[in-house]
Amino acid sequence: MSFYALLQRLIDAWHAGNADAAAALFAVDAIYREPGREPLRGREQIRDFMRNFFAAGSAVRVVVGDVVLDGETAFIAFTFAMRHENGEGSHATEMGALIRFSAGCVTEWREYRG
């Protein structure tokens, strides 16, 4: 699977609030990092984190802008926003992510804000 297909499947899973489908796109031993949080290690931790996030009623919207791709490493600039079950939304946040991937799975996701 190409990087672009992998990224689109991941975004589609996030938009659908499907933690299991999103986590399945991460390698068994993947690392997921967000600023201000301890790294998540392994697909199970990543899945559990996403399940808890979506269980809180958050609908996610991700819009990718720039993509820089070099072999099995990519950097994406994207806008992230979410809306809660009560209808309240957050403002869009400009973000970036360094993504390493192999054999159709994300092996590392490292997020940056600002």
Q: What is the DSSP string of 21-75?
A: HHHTTEEEEEEEE-TTSPPEESHHHHHHHHHHHHHTT-EEEEEEEEEEEETTEEE
User: What is the domain class of 3-113 according to CATH?
Assistant: alpha beta
pLDDT at residue 23, rounded to an integer? 97
Express each pLDDT in 3-57 by its tens digit. 999 999 999 999 999 999 999 999 999 999 999 999 999 999 999 999 998 887 6
Terminal CA-CA length for the chain: 30
Reported as a pLDDT band with limits 50, 70 and 90, residue 88 is: low
pLDDT at residue 103, rounded to an integer? 95
pLDDT at residue 57, rounded to an integer? 67
Q: Cβ contacts of residue 47 below 8 Å, gap of 6+?
A: 19, 20, 22, 23
Please report, for the chain, the start and end positions of each structural domain, with discontinuous segments joined by +: 3-113
Reported as a pLDDT band with limits 50, 70 and 90, residue 84 is: low
